[in-house]
Every structure is written in structure tokens, then in C-alpha cells.
Amino acid sequence: MILALSLGLTACGNNANVNGGQPKKNSQVNQQENQQVFKQVNLQVNSHESKIFQTENKEQPTDKKAIRPFHVNIPEAELTELRNRIKATRWPEKEPVSDQSHGAQLATIQSLAKYWANDYDWRKIETKLNSLPQFITEIDGLDIHFIHVRSKHKNAMPIIVTHGWPGSIIEQLKIIDPLVNPTAHGGKESDAFDVVIPSIPGYGFSEKPSTVGWGPDHIARAWDVLMKRLGYKKYVAQGGDWGAVVTDLMGVQAPKGLLAIHTNMAGVIPPAVDAAIWSGAPMPSGLSAEEQKAFNQVRENKFGYSYIMGTRPQSLTGLVDSPIGLASIMIDHDWKSYALISRVFAGQKEGLTRDDILDNISLFWLTKTGVSSSRLYLENKFPFFAVKGVKIPVAVSVFPDELYEAPKSWAMKAYPKLIHYNKLPKGGHFAAWEQPKFLTTEIRTAFKSLRQG
């Protein structure tokens, strides 16, 4: 059975309509019903219980613990205003260099603006989002938005996947069906996952924190609350960028039921090396060639944006006032994956399309989260690439165009229970977005041993 009550609410002040409802217990989900859920965005609970990854149907939740169906519906007036603001952009002069060393090039941004204002269609991604089961639930006083897709296959392993900045749930859309429906994507029934993809507080359709204290450690605890609230007794976690930091901290906290974690941006830099990188001190002696390469990769990357976000995020008002200002910041980085984004609008074919990129930027604009998402940098009290104390099993996938290529020697020291380590031939910082097939295979392989018993 499907239960849905239309309450006509507005979620998180983001002009997105929400339909509220609570699940009925023991409702059977089959493939046809799952497809219907995708169309209607109604709440549905799967009653099948695997031997290992069983769900636990408890008493009906209180109002604060309610899981309310969510539907995206951006008013047309918001889209018209976006196009008008793009067309009214005050452009700077052309950069005096022939490369991206001064930032995103004027011609690239103007190409993006032209396509965004005249040809881009937000309704396509809105329709895709609304084809997936989306929900809102309150955790620690904050409304958290998430996608939750259950597999039709028995013994599906629950997994919570976390995005980063300047990313969003848009990053993970391409891996949902391969994980949930593996037999349609070269896998076996035994590879199936139930997938949960939340929006970090202050990002997308999750509520913006109005008080301090929502750092990655708090988010890590909230994700365990979410998985338990969904009825999962045992689960795994995955993440990249901020998602990797959150996932590492879940591994540090090791809540009951979290079996293992997978990261595609490993936080494995030794403390002394990490300190040298950020202080400008000389490279420590005794590093292997691979470790020296990793040291230089991090030191040579440009993190200027993170310094202002980590100290004065409220000064970034322009990110919610100018769509082109927002886009310029989001695509301007020296990292290979970010440069890839710029190259798409410079006319080169890459792993991402123009629509992929503008779907993500538009989500930030339409939810007015340019500033709120930046605050996570100020809230963070942990090393970005060196979270320590993970005691549970960990799997690591290293993509060549990541911010740095984590050496296995460091991974083995940082993660005493390393169960998987692999270097991929292609891909970078946005692994799920750029190379969904590679990342899907990595996730399947990483957790395969945990399905036994």
C-alpha cells in the first residue's frame, strides 16, 4: 500500500513543495510499485528482511521523526528571474593571460551564460529528481532532505552516500540505478544496494542551520540517526570531498550497525606530512616517490576559495545575488576535475555535459545556498585529508585526477582495517558524476566480503 497526504507545505524556505505522510508498516514493495513510487514520489516501506541487512519496523514515529515525501516544484517566476539576472550581468574585462591561471576565463563564462539563459531547461532535472523517492525528516531540529531508493532484490545492502562542495545530490544520480538494479547494469542480484543520498545541511533542499555546530562530525552522527530511522540495523557508507570527511568521521565514531566505509578521497596523509603541507615547511625526509608526488599534489593545489569560506563565509553575499558570480566560483579551480568543467564550456567534449554542470549550479542558485553551503568550511575542525582514528573496515578508490593520489602505504597506516585499495585509470574529484561505471564497480567490490555470513 502507498500512503500519501498532501499538506501543501513549503520546504526549508526554498520554494519547493512538500507532501507530508507517514509509512504504513509491513507494506510489500515489488518492481511495479517501485516504478509507481518513482512517478508519484510517495512514501513506501519495503517489508522484505534480508538475513544480514534487515530493516526494523518500529512503532509509528512522532511528528519530529516523521518521514515526509518531498516533491520539487520551482515556480516559473524563479526561473524567469534567473534568466533575467544572467542577461543583466555586468562583465569584467578579459583576463590578460592565455590560460586559466587568473581564474575561469571570460570567454568560458560568457559561453556558459549564453547557454544558461537561452537553452538550458531546469525542468528536465526537476523531472528526474521527482522520478525518485525523495523525503524530508527532522534531525536535531533541522529538516534533512534525502533520496531513498530500495532495491527489488533480496539481501540488498543499505548504503548512505554523501556529496561534497561544490557538489550536491546531483553528483550521485548516475550511480543510483546501477547500485539498486545491478542486473540491468552488468552486475548480479547479490550486488544490490538500498541507496540513501542525503543533502548536507545548508545544501540543496536540506534546511540551512541557523546556529553554529553543524560541522562534519555532527553530520556524521545525523546520518546514523537517519539510517536507524529508516529501519536499517546494518549499513555501509560512502563519500567524496566533504562526503569523504563525513564518512571518515562516521568511521571514527563507529556507531553500532555501521559495517564499513568507502572513500574516493582518502584522508590518509600522516600528521607530520599534513602539518608540513599547510605550514609551508620543507617536505619531510624519507618519503617514497609516490608519497612525494602526493605531498606535492596537495601543496600545489590552490585552496584560496576555502580560506574565505573557512573564515568569512557571510561575506560571500554575491553568491546568492549573481548567478554568474556563483557559476564563476563553482567552476574556477586549478584541480583537473574542475578544469574539466570549464573545458566543457570552452567547446571540448568531456565526461560531463553542459546540462550536468548547470543542473548543479542551478540547484545552488534556486535554493539560495551559495553562502549556507560555504559555512561548512568554517564549521570544520578536522584535517581535510588526514582524519584519524578510523577503526572499522575501510575501502579506498584512487582516481588519477583527484586532488591527490593517496598512496597505499599511507592508506594502510591510516586505515588499520583496509579491505580494498585500487587505483583507477580514469576519473577525478567527481567520481560518481564523471565515471559512474568505475565508481559503481568499486563500491560493489569494496563491500562484497561483508555480504558473507
Distance CA 310, CA 48 (A): 45
Q: Where are the beta strands (DSSP E) in 305-431?
A: 394-398, 418-423
Query: Annotated catalytic residue: which of 143, 217, 241, 356?
Result: 241
What are the distances in angstroms from CA 424 to CA 293, 370, 398, 421, 438?
Answer: 17, 32, 6, 10, 8
d(C-alpha 448, C-alpha 59), whole Å: 32
Q: How many residues does the chain have?
A: 453
Q: Which DSSP letter does residue 351 get?
A: S
For residues 403 and 298, give the distance between their C-alpha atoms in angstroms, rounded to a whole number.
Answer: 6
Quick one: which H or E segment has residue 220? Answer: helix 216-229
32: left (phi over 0), alpha (psi -120 to 50) or beta: alpha
Q: Nearest Cα to 424, choosing from 297, 189, 266? A: 266
| Beta-bridge mates of residue 260 | 236
Which helix (H) or strand (E) segment holds residue 128: the answer is: helix 122-130
Residue 91 phi, psi dihedral angles, 5° rounding? -90, 145
Q: What's 152's DSSP letter?
A: S
Closest CA to 173 of 402, 365, 432, 353: 432
Strand pairing category for 142-149 and 134-139: antiparallel
Tell me how far apart the alpha carbons of residues 68 and 23 are, in angstroms, rounded to a whole number.
Answer: 9
CB 194 within 8 Å of CB 159: yes
- Selecting among 235, 377, 404, 415, the annotated active-site residue is 377
Active site residue 241: yes
Active site residues: 241, 377, 429
